[in-house]
Amino acid sequence: MNLAMLKPGEKGKITKMGAIGSLKRRLMDMGVLVGEDIKVKKVAPLGDPIEVTIKNYNLSLRKKEAQGIEVEVVK
């Protein structure tokens, strides 16, 4: 299960960061870390990118970038 598969309104807990290199570091700098809760808020009108809430703020990223973030669904 990765972040791109979550639907708007669904919440997940990050289990693994599959992204590598600068993308991984950039995500980590933005607070996208293993163990964090992450919630998908919206999908852009054209289907990509997505908006998520993490660490109490809103972040947008492309689905391709979200695919590298492994999550488990949290109810």
Partner 1 sequence: MSNTMHDTGYTIQDRKIMHHKAITVAVAGNPNSGKSTLINAIAGTRLHVGNWPGVTVEKKEAMFEHKGWKIRLIDLPGTYSLSPYTQEEIIARDYLVHEKPEVIINVVDATNLERNLYLTVQLMELGIPVVVALNIFDEAEKKGYKIDIKTVEKMLGVRVIPTVSTKKTGLNELLAAVTETAGNPSKHHPKQLNYGEDIESAVKATSAQIKNTHPALAEEYPLRWLSFKLMEGDSHVMAEVKLKESAFIEETTKHLKKAHGEDIESIMADERYALASGLTHEVLKRPELRKMEITEKIDKIVLNRLLGIPIFLAAMWLMFKLTFDIATPFVDWIDAMTTGPFKRWAEAILGFINAPAWTVSLATDGVIAGVGFVLVFVPVIFAMMFFITFLEGSGYMARAAFVMDRAMHSMGLHGKSFIPMLLGFGCNVPAIYATRTLENPKDKALTALLIPLMSCGARLPVFVLFTAVFFAASAGTVLWSLYVMGIVLAVLMGVIFKRTLFKGEAPMFIMELPPYRMPSFRSLMIHTWEKGRHFLIKAGTYILAVSVLVWFLLNLPWGVESKKDSYLGRGGQIIAPVFEPLGFGNWEASSSLISGLIAKEIVVGTMGEIYVTKESGVKSQESEEKTPTFTEDMKEIAISFASATKDAAVNVFSTFGIASITAEEDEEAGGMKPVIQREFTPLSAYAFMTFVLLYMPCVIVAIAMRQEFGTWKWFGIAFGYQMVLAWVVAFVIYQGGKLMGLG
Which residues ranging from 10 to 49 are in contact with partner 1 (CB under 8 A)? Answer: 17, 22-31, 33-34, 42-49
Q: Which is nearer to partner 1, 1 or 34 (CB)?
A: 34
The closest alpha carbon to 53, from 8, 22, 18, 20, belongs to: 8
Instruction: Please report how close the Cβ of residue 18 comes to partner 1 at its closest, in angstroms.
Output: 12
Instruction: Please report how close the Cβ of residue 75 comes to partner 1 at its closest, in angstroms.
Output: 19
Classified as helix, coil or strand, 7 is: coil
The closest alpha carbon to 66, from 11, 17, 29, 30, belongs to: 17
Q: Which is nearer to partner 1, 46 or 75 (CB)?
A: 46
